[in-house]
């Protein structure tokens, strides 16, 4: 499996001219993902920390241009990373908004960690799921069909949160002060 290094991720970010606030968000998502990977590796040593870090850094790689193009950034981000030769990272990026499936009885995966980490970061701050849901509903829930989709996604995210934290010695609401900014933008 080929995974870009942090340096390569930041090179891609620069090439894509990501807005600074989106880079800041991505870096914080990466720090949450790194924290969770380090905790969960004790339970699941198969977790690939580098895969999660790269996918978290690049999860919004086409979001800046999506403001103009109106593209679905999870799909075009996936396409970009596939074209660059990183299919595993691409698949996680594709699923960072909505997972293909929510599996309660399998070990926590890198895609679940990145998906969940993104749901816990508002701008560049770690917040509760409730706080982030309020923001997402206000920003994206203009139509009834969108609000319904957001509600279903949130129900699944709560289940994912339970799966992630069930064997950890930290509670979800204890996450914000524990996340250390180990990854910083270059």
CATH of the domain at 56: 1.10.3210
Q: Write out the E strands in 24-120.
A: none
In a domain, 79, yes or no: yes
**Owning domain of residue 120:** 6-178
Query: What local confidence, expressed as pLDDT, does residue 175 receive?
Result: 86
In a domain, 12, yes or no: yes
In a domain, 123, yes or no: yes
What average pLDDT does this structure show over 147-151?
A: 90
> What b/e sequence results for 49-81 when a residue is b if at least 16 CB atoms lie within 10 Å of its CB, and e otherwise?
bebbbbbbbbbbbbbbbbeeeeeebbebbbebb
pLDDT confidence tier of residue 106, bands split at 50, 70 and 90 = very high
Pairing status of strand 125-126 against strand 121-122: antiparallel
Residue 48 pLDDT more than 80? yes
> Total structural domains in the chain?
1
| pTM of the full structure | 0.95
Alpha-carbon span 38 to 182, nearest angstrom: 12
In a domain, 110, yes or no: yes
Residues 11, 100 contacting (CB under 8 angstroms):
no
User: In Å, how far are 83, 84, 95, 112, 146 from 28, measured between CA atoms?
Assistant: 26, 24, 18, 16, 26
Q: What is the mean pLDDT of the chain?
A: 94
Q: Which of 147, 143, 118 is nearest to 29 (CA)?
A: 118
């Amino acid at each position: 499996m080929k995974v870009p290094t942090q340096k390569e991720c930041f090179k891609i970010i620069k090439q894509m001219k990501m807005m600074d606030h989106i880079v800041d968000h991505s870096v914080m998502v990466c720090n949450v993902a790194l924290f969770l990977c380090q905790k969960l590796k004790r339970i699941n040593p198969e977790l690939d920390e580098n895969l999660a870090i790269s996918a978290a850094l690049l999860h919004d790689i086409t979001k800046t241009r999506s403001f103009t193009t109106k593209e679905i950034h999870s799909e075009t981000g996936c396409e970009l990373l596939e074209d660059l030769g990183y299919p595993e990272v691409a698949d996680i990026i594709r699923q960072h908004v909505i997972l293909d499936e929510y599996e309660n009885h399998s070990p926590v995966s890198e895609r679940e960690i990145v998906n969940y980490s993104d749901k816990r970061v508002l701008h560049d701050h770690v917040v509760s799921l409730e706080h982030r849901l309020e923001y997402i509903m206000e920003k994206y829930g203009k139509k009834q069909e969108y609000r319904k989709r957001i509600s279903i996604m949130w129900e699944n995210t709560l289940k994912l949160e339970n799966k992630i934290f069930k064997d950890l010695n930290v509670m979800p609401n204890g996450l914000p002060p524990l996340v250390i900014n180990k990854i910083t933008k270059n």
